[in-house]
Amino acid sequence: MDRPSPGAAREMADALAAWFEANARPLPWRRSYRPYEVWVSEIMLQQTQMERGVEAFTRWMERFPDPEALARAGEDEVLKMWEGLGYYNRARNLHRAAGMVVERHGGEVPADPAALRALPGVGPYTAAAVASIAHGRDVPLVDANVGRLFSRLFDIDQPLHLSATKRALDGLAADLLPPGRARMHNQALMELGALVCTPKSPRCSACPLDTRCRAKYLDLVFERPVPAKAAEYIPMDVASGLLIHDGGILVQKRPPAGVWAGLWEFPGGAVEEGETPDQAVVREFLEETELEVAVAAPLPRVRHGYTRYRVTLHPFLLTLAGRPRQPALHAAQESRWAGAEELAGLAFPAGHRKLLDKLAASGRLDRLLAGGAIEEEPS
């Protein structure tokens, strides 16, 4: 891999700047480049598609327009506002970091990359993005889009996740960075990767750097980046129950640490070897809440994925089999009997929210809470 000469780097930076000026998307955090807005956008766009990120960003800014507003909010509200984006630790870290920004920096998001990295949830990339895009600091950055772009421009023949490759990418980003132009230059690189140098259908004819692209010259565009070993996904069956009593459904709040910390859920858990989902939900209810329940009817199954797991959620409508009593909290920090309006205001993991949305969209949630019956639907 040959690194660009200073002259070549300047020409590439100029071509990128002209392309970005003509093709930059009108994203809401680009209107004023407020450091808080840039920071929130960078956290939201981790593991999130742009369209969904823009929608969530707009909603978030209406409720939490500055670090002070976010720091004052309760965790339940923060998690609810984050619902649909997944990876809820991002929201928790953002909430904690907002408090630190208020306490340590007078409510102003710092410009120094080291100070930014001291905030929860801010790693090297996010610190570089906020420092360069929001504050104009001459700090290079490499995200997934830039890594893919560089792998083709400079014909990098090693997987991008390797430490040596990451160091090479950082060096290339530093070589190409034009002094005093980091804000637009870094965005141009990321935008070019997102819109033109895409993973499966790169539009080389629209690229301002196509004449300098080694992979195009060598006919290796579709061979770069070199793929890493494919991830192995683990199937998992989970049973959960909607226990209705006096017009409410039992929900419980997960512990403050661990998977889906602080989110609300319907009690349940993994289906163990040798048992059926309906047997699992009865067992889980007894273990978690000490309530004896019986299965009244199956509800439509829900499939979703997180990290390395591919989950099939088997939900059931339940009735009390024993005497009514206060649910125990063996797997939760709080529980309540929630009606439809309250359920809509709580933050749930993706699978449970999908189930609620499915039932609410058809009107069956209201019928269930009113004591009506439900028929099983095809999954």
The set of residues, in sequence order, having a beta carbon less than 8 Å from that of 74 and lying 6+ positions away, is: none
Question: Is 42 annotated in the active site?
Answer: yes
**What is the length of the chain?**
379
The set of residues, in sequence order, having a beta carbon less than 8 Å from that of 128 and lying 6+ positions away, is: 113, 139, 140, 141, 186
The set of residues, in sequence order, having a beta carbon less than 8 Å from that of 1 and lying 6+ positions away, is: 154, 155, 156, 157, 168
Taking a C-beta distance cutoff of 8 angstroms, is the pair 56, 88 a contact?
no
| Residue whose entry in the numeric block shows the structure tokens 């700090």 | 139
Cβ atoms < 10 Å from Cβ of 112: 13
Which amino acid, one-letter code, is at 169? L
**Residue of 11, 21, 42, 288 with catalytic role:** 42
Taking a C-beta distance cutoff of 8 angstroms, is the pair 114, 102 a contact?
no
| Residue whose entry in the numeric block shows the structure tokens 């001291």 | 118
The set of residues, in sequence order, having a beta carbon less than 8 Å from that of 58 and lying 6+ positions away, is: 28
Cis? peptide before 225, omega within 30° of 0: yes
CA angle (211, 213, 219) in 5-degree steps: 105
**Cα atoms in the 13 Å half-sphere on the side-chain side of 49:** 3
The set of residues, in sequence order, having a beta carbon less than 8 Å from that of 237 and lying 6+ positions away, is: 270, 271, 277, 311, 312, 314
Nearest to 35 by CA among 113, 151, 124: 113
Token output for 113: 């990359």
Taking a C-beta distance cutoff of 8 angstroms, is the pair 140, 125 a contact?
no
**Distance (Å, rounded) from C-alpha 300 to C-alpha 314?**
7
Q: State the pairing for strand pair 309-320/334-338.
A: unpaired
Supply the residues annotated as catalytic: 42
